[in-house]
Amino acid sequence: MKDWPYDVFPTGWYQIGYSAELAPGEVRPVKYFDQDLVLFRTEQGEVALLDAYCAHLGAHLGYGGKVKGDCIECPFHGWLWTAQGALSEIPYAPGETRRVGLDRWETREVDGLIIAWYDGFGRAPWWEWPGIREFKDGAGCYPIYPQGADHIGVRKIIPQSPVENTPDYYHFMWVHGSGQPGKPLLWEEEGHYLRTRIGFVFGHGKQSTWLTPDGPVAGEIETEAWGLGLSNARFVLDGFITSQLTAATPVDREHSQLFDTITCTREPGSDDPEPSGTAARMLEFQKGQIRRDFAIWENQRYVEHPPFAGGEEEHYARFRRWSRQFYVNAPESEQV
Ligand code: FES
Ligand SMILES: [Fe+2]
């Protein structure tokens, strides 16, 4: 995004992949937060994210590094590093140790996603990510993997943009083709966590749509954000729920890697892993809708003091205030 005023990446949890796409023994070079990193899974199944460059003579472990047990072996001289970044062994100098290590990044696997903690000051996680209830509900919802896991790729988008949709009740009319703006019903902040509910009439002004064959239906969008890296929108319509998680992970100052993960209520009576009927159509529809947002975000300029209208400022101001905590030098509780 142009004219972005901050020079730090926001603190928080960020998605760096899907569990199903990193098998034991797999090694991958990755770049996040303007740093070269190596991502791997040990033979025991632990995920590790370390600084890419070997502390011996600087080889990139992501290119040719091999998993050996619970370590990664450098392709240059074979030094072995543990998943925690500690030096385990120098194969040609047994018994010798050096006081060196690799920076290690906290990771978790939650609901089929691999996430990593970023804090510009190296502090430990302030919170844990609880995941998404529908992603855990294999009986009631379709599995997110593989059909619900959408790799959007690296885009010129900053993590704040997706979450900033939360207070934007008017954009639904222009970007998503809804006949009316969203109606704010709830705004709840709890530290790093923001939850809202937005009232909506699905199929507004139309006699019949594929989603609302019997005419317009009042529904809700429940949004949840945990920091700026992970935010979920839950579309609730007559007991039919679609849950869509947007994850934006900074690659450099202007670009993020985007993931869109989605599931919905199963078709009545179906235990098929593949969505069908209205469920399949809803998932495709929402994947298309989020792409409309991406097209705006990647070409947008950041406006620090927008000329708000129609009551926009109330929730926008709250959102911007809430979002600032992730850019500051210390958690709010530690600020003086
Ligand atoms: S550079 Fe890695 S072992 Fe020498
Ligand atoms: Fe949107």
Q: Residue 202: is its pLDDT beyond 90?
A: no
Residue with the larger pLDDT of the pair 142 and 121: 142
Is 10 within a domain? no
**In the structure, what pLDDT confidence band is assigned to residue 179 with cuts at 50, 70 and 90?**
confident
Q: Lowest mean pLDDT of 1-5, 94-98, 133-137, name the range.
A: 1-5
Task: Give the lowest-confidence range in 15-19, 61-65, 250-254.
Answer: 250-254
Q: Domain for residue 161, yes or no?
A: yes
Q: How many domains does the chain have?
A: 2
In angstroms, what is the span from residue 20 Cα to ligand 1's centroid? 30
In ligand 1, the atom with minimum distance to the C-alpha of 90 is: 3
Same domain, 101 and 137: no
Q: What's the CATH number where 70 sits?
A: 2.102.10.10
Sheet with 113-118, side-by-side order of all strands: 12-18, 113-118, 107-110
Express each pLDDT in 276-329 by its tens digit.
Answer: 999 999 999 999 999 999 999 999 999 989 999 999 999 999 999 999 999 876
> Does residue 128 lie within any of the structural domains?
no
- Residue 206 and residue 295 in one domain: yes
Q: Are residues 194 and 94 in the same domain?
A: no
Residues 167 and 280 in one domain: yes
Domain of 231, in residue numbers: 133-324
Domain check: are 274 and 319 in the same one? yes
Establish whether residue 292 lines the binding site of ligand 1, counting it when its CB lies within 6 angstroms of any ligand atom. no
User: Please, what's the b/e burial string for 128-139 (b: 16 or more CB within 10 A of its CB; e: otherwise)?
Assistant: ebebbebbebee
Mean pLDDT of 52-72: 98
The alpha carbon of 170 and the centre of ligand 1 are apart by a number of angstroms equal to 55
Q: Is the pLDDT of residue 96 over 60?
A: yes
pLDDT confidence bin for 41, thresholds 50/70/90:
very high
* pLDDT category of residue 332 using cuts at 50, 70 and 90: low
In a domain, 36, yes or no: yes
DSSP for residue 60? B
120 part of a folded domain: no
Q: What is the pLDDT of residue 336?
A: 40
- 314 in a domain, yes or no? yes
pLDDT of residue 126: 92
Strand 256-264 to 149-155 pairing: antiparallel
Let me know whether 159 and 84 are in one domain: no
Whether residue 155 sits in one domain with residue 296: yes
Shared domain for 185 and 308, answered yes or no, is yes
Band of residue 59 on the pLDDT scale cut at 50, 70, 90: very high
Q: Are 229 and 291 within one domain?
A: yes
Res. 273 pLDDT band, cuts 50 70 90? confident
42 and 173 part of one domain: no
Percent with pLDDT over 70 in the chain: 96
Whether 282 is covered by a domain: the verdict is: yes
56 Cβ inside 6 Å of ligand 1: yes
- Domain membership of residue 173 (yes or no) is yes
| Domain containing residue 278: CATH number | 3.90.380.10
Mean pLDDT of 223-248: 96
DSSP string, 248-268: EEESSSS-EEEEEEEEEBPPT
